[in-house]
């Protein structure tokens, strides 16, 4: 029982971590908490479901298509809504992301539909048996994708000029700008990465948790909680926060009652905000000019 | 020549800059002094594009730069350092300086993601250039791979200047580079600034350390209450009665 609970906790936690990365990457580069991010995840899942179930497109094509659409949604979100705004007016920017979230949700409802959909797993086959534990194929896809995407993101951030430029913007916006790094370009790349990883999270999640146009806010809150828990703006924080949140929820559901699952995770979030607002791994907030 | 002509800036009722005229030549150090609140830092922010001017022009070798976004300034040949250190603390020292090479790098986004040989070549050149600058700024090799934020304060200042030089500027604006340095470090900095200017760069030095400014500058501008009240060679400025009253007088009472 315990092992099974842990496996499900890791699977859920991996999803939360994937969502949290999107919050973190946008927050560190653009200094905005993008509350529309949950909708990017929803769009990834819903499009994957719609493409496979309604359009009957093969999986190998539907997955990249859904993710690519998410990238476009994320890029347009920045370009049309945030790019022209005064970047020092954080409240206005956050309100815009909330409005954007509602808009994306509305568009999804109108154009894709209100039905809850159950798309197929990425691979069909019997669960993997490890002793007495059974691990579903989709769980392996989810955890494997998290590892691959995190590894790729790390390589891009540490090894390439693009990634170093984004890190420079995140560490010190003013100095980065003086070195000729365009903050707008860094922001676009951040949103593209958020769309890519968010869309992948949505597609990975939907075979396990179904796809529905109204899921975005809930997914966003869980991802945001994971990002805060680990330390918003900290890349490994998203991973740690996501896994802890997933495990706590899974243990609560397994040993207490699934009714308390969300309550326990939100209490955990409250405790972090009260006692360690920079998150488990975060350092104190960066200085301003 | 870096020419600031008739620049004015208001913040609400405060006239932060009033008809400021300053010129800085290449290959020499131009000093800018003035008491706190004289508008030196505001002027610096206007030149580097962080805030707009209400009136006036800033030209870099005859090209107008007012209205350019700050990230385009380094391509026009102007780079600055900040009064309080603005370091990429989490990067290694050499990486910080490599960031200064950004505008000289041509490889596309796709090439970067694929790490093509051209990109590797570019990367190696940038590292070599950065190491050269660290040598020139007397940053010991043992610091190069350490986290930049962990270096002693005086060395972080030098790394910041090396990063600015990595952009290959025509004009280097230094906002109180000697703040927090002791006398010995400060005179070493003076030496370095002279060497930088000898290399053909126009250095604009904003400083509270009068001795440093007077020692290294070919020309000094004095600001008070948002306007330039005097300019000339260090000895002319020193003996100007307005300057003595506005600024030096307070120090020598």
Model confidence pLDDT, tens digit, residues B15-27 = 899 999 999 999 9
**B105, pLDDT greater than 90:** no
**B42 and B92 part of one domain:** no
Q: Closest-CA residue in chain B for A161?
A: B112
Inspect the interface and report whether the beta carbons of B113 and A289 lie closer than 8 Å. no
What is the domain extent for residue B110? Answer: 87-168
Measured torsion, CA atoms of residues A93, A98, A104, A110, in degrees rounded to the nearest 10: -140
What is the domain extent for residue A63? Answer: 14-241
Q: Closest-CA residue in chain B for A177?
A: B71
Average pLDDT, whole number, for chain A? 90
Region A76-82: what's the mean pLDDT?
Answer: 94
Q: Which residues of A touch B75 (CB under 8 A)?
A: 180
**B137 and B178 part of one domain:** no
- A23 token code pair: 């919050």
**B173 and B185 part of one domain:** yes
DSSP E strands in B39-183: the ranges are 55-60, 63-64, 78-80, 171-175
Residue A165 lies in a domain: yes
Give residue A69's pLDDT band: very low, low, confident or very high (50, 70, 90).
Answer: very high
Residue A283 lies in a domain: no
Percent of chain B with pLDDT over 90: 47
Q: How many domains does chain A have?
A: 1
- Of the candidates B168, B196, B222, which is a domain's last residue? B168
- Helix (H) / strand (E) element for A55: namely none
- Of the candidates B119, B137, B168, which is a domain's last residue? B168
**A150, pLDDT greater than 60:** yes
Q: Which of A200, A219, A192, A230 lies closest to A30 in space, CA to CA?
A: A192
Q: Which residues of A touch B99 (CB under 8 A)?
A: 164-165, 168, 176, 179, 181
Q: State pLDDT tens for residues A121-142.
A: 998 888 888 877 888 999 999 9
Q: Helices marked H in B106-222 — which ranges?
A: 109-114, 117-136, 153-166, 183-198, 210-216
Q: How many domains does chain B have?
A: 2
Inspect the interface and report whether the beta carbons of B71 and A182 lie closer than 8 Å. yes
Calpha distance A86→A255 (Å, rounded): 48
Residue A84: predicted pLDDT: 87
**B94 and B61 part of one domain:** no
A181-185: Cβ within 8 A, 24+ apart: A181/B71, A181/B99, A181/B102, A182/B71, A183/A87, A183/B71, A184/A83
**A288, pLDDT greater than 80:** no
Residue A263 lies in a domain: no
Q: Closest-CA residue in chain A for B114?
A: A160
Residue A280 lies in a domain: no
Calpha distance B127→B166 (Å, rounded): 10
Q: Closest-CA residue in chain B for A164?
A: B99
Residue A289: predicted pLDDT: 42
Strands of B29-33's sheet in order across: B78-80, B171-175, B202-206, B29-33, B219-224, B227-232
Calpha distance A112→B175 (Å, rounded): 56
Q: Which residues of B touch A181 (CB under 8 A)?
A: 71, 99, 102
Q: Which residues of A touch B112 (CB under 8 A)?
A: 160-162
**B251, pLDDT greater than 60:** no
Calpha distance B220→B36 (Å, rounded): 17
Residue B14 lies in a domain: yes
- Other Cβ atoms closer than 10 A to A41: 33
Q: Which of B179, B199, B215, B181 lies closest to B136 in space, CA to CA?
A: B199
Q: Which residue has the tokens 């990595």?
A: B166
Alpha carbon distance, N-terminus to C-terminus of chain A = 53
CATH for B61: 3.40.50.300
What's the alpha-carbon Rg for chain B, to the nearest Å? 19
**B179, pLDDT greater than 50:** yes
Inspect the interface and report whether the beta carbons of B123 and A167 lie closer than 8 Å. no
Residues contacting residue B71 through CB under 8 Å, at least 6 positions apart:
A177, A178, A180, A181, A182, A183
**B142 and B177 part of one domain:** no
Region A197-217: what's the mean pLDDT?
Answer: 94
Q: State pLDDT tens for residues B116-156.
A: 888 888 888 889 999 999 999 989 999 999 999 999 988 99
Which of A206-210, A281-285, B118-122, B162-166 shows the lowest mean pLDDT across its residues? A281-285
Calpha distance B98→A158 (Å, rounded): 13
Q: State pLDDT tens for residues B7-62.
A: 999 998 888 999 999 999 999 999 999 888 888 989 999 998 888 889 999 999 98
Distance (Å) from the C-alpha of residue A177 to the closest C-alpha of chain B? Answer: 5
B71 φ, ψ to 5°?
-75, -10
- Helix (H) / strand (E) element for A94: namely helix A90-111
Q: Using DSSP, state whether A134 is helix, strand or coil.
A: strand
For residue B239, with 0-12 CB atoms within 10 Å meaning exposed, 13-18 middle and 19 or more buried, which class applies?
A: exposed
- Of the candidates B168, B183, B207, which is a domain's last residue? B168
Give residue A287's pLDDT band: very low, low, confident or very high (50, 70, 90).
Answer: very low
């Amino acid at each position: 029982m315990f092992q099974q609970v842990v496996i499900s906790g890791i699977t859920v936690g991996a999803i939360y971590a994937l969502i949290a990365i999107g919050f973190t990457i946008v927050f560190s580069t653009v200094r905005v908490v993008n509350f529309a991010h949950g909708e990017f995840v929803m769009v990834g899942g819903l499009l994957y479901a719609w493409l496979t179930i309604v359009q009957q497109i093969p999986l190998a094509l539907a997955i990249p298509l859904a993710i690519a659409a998410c990238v476009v949604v994320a890029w347009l979100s920045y370009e049309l809504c945030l790019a022209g705004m005064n970047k020092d007016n954080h409240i206005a920017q956050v309100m815009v992301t909330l409005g954007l979230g509602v808009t994306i949700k509305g568009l999804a409802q109108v154009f894709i539909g209100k039905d809850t959909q159950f798309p197929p797993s990425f691979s069909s086959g019997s669960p993997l048996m490890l002793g007495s534990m059974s691990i579903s194929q989709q769980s392996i896809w989810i955890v494997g994708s998290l590892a691959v995407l995190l590894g790729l993101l790390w390589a891009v951030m540490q090894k390439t000029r693009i990634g170093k430029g984004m890190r420079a913007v995140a560490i010190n916006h003013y100095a980065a700008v003086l070195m000729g790094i365009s903050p707008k370009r860094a922001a676009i790349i951040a949103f593209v990465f958020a769309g890519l990883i968010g869309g992948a999270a949505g597609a990975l999640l939907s075979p396990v948790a179904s796809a529905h146009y109204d899921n975005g806010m809930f997914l966003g809150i869980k991802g945001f909680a994971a990002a805060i828990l680990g330390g918003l703006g900290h890349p490994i924080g998203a991973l740690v926060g996501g896994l802890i949140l997933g495990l706590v929820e899974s243990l609560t559901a397994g040993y207490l009652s699934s009714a308390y699952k969300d309550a326990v995770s939100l209490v955990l979030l409250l405790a972090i905000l009260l006692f360690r607002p920079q998150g488990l791994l975060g350092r104190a907030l960066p200085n301003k000019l | 020549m870096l020419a600031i002509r008739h620049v004015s800036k208001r913040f609400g009722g405060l006239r932060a800059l009033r008809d400021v005229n300053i010129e800085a030549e290449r290959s020499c150090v131009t000093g800018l002094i003035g008491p706190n609140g004289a508008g030196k830092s505001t002027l610096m922010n206007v030149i580097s594009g962080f805030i707009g001017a209400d009136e006036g022009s800033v030209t870099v070798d005859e090209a107008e730069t007012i209205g350019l976004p700050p990230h385009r300034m380094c391509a026009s040949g102007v780079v600055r350092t900040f009064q309080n250190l603005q370091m990429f603390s989490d990067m290694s020292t050499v990486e910080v300086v490599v960031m200064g090479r950004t505008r000289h790098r041509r490889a596309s986004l796709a090439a970067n993601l694929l790490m093509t040989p051209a990109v590797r070549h570019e990367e190696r050149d940038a590292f070599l250039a950065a190491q050269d600058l660290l040598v020139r700024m007397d940053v010991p090799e043992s610091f190069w791979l350490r986290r930049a934020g962990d270096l002693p304060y005086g060395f972080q200042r030098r790394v910041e200047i090396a990063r600015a030089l990595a952009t290959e500027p025509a004009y280097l604006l230094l906002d109180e580079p000697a703040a927090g340095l002791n006398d010995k470090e400060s005179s070493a900095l003076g030496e370095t600034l002279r060497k930088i200017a000898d290399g053909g760069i126009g250095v604009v030095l904003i400083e509270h350390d009068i001795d440093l400014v007077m020692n290294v500058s070919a020309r000094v501008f004095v600001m008070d209450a948002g306007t330039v009240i005097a300019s000339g060679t260090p000895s002319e400025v020193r003996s100007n009665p307005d300057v003595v009253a506005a600024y030096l007088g307070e120090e020598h009472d």
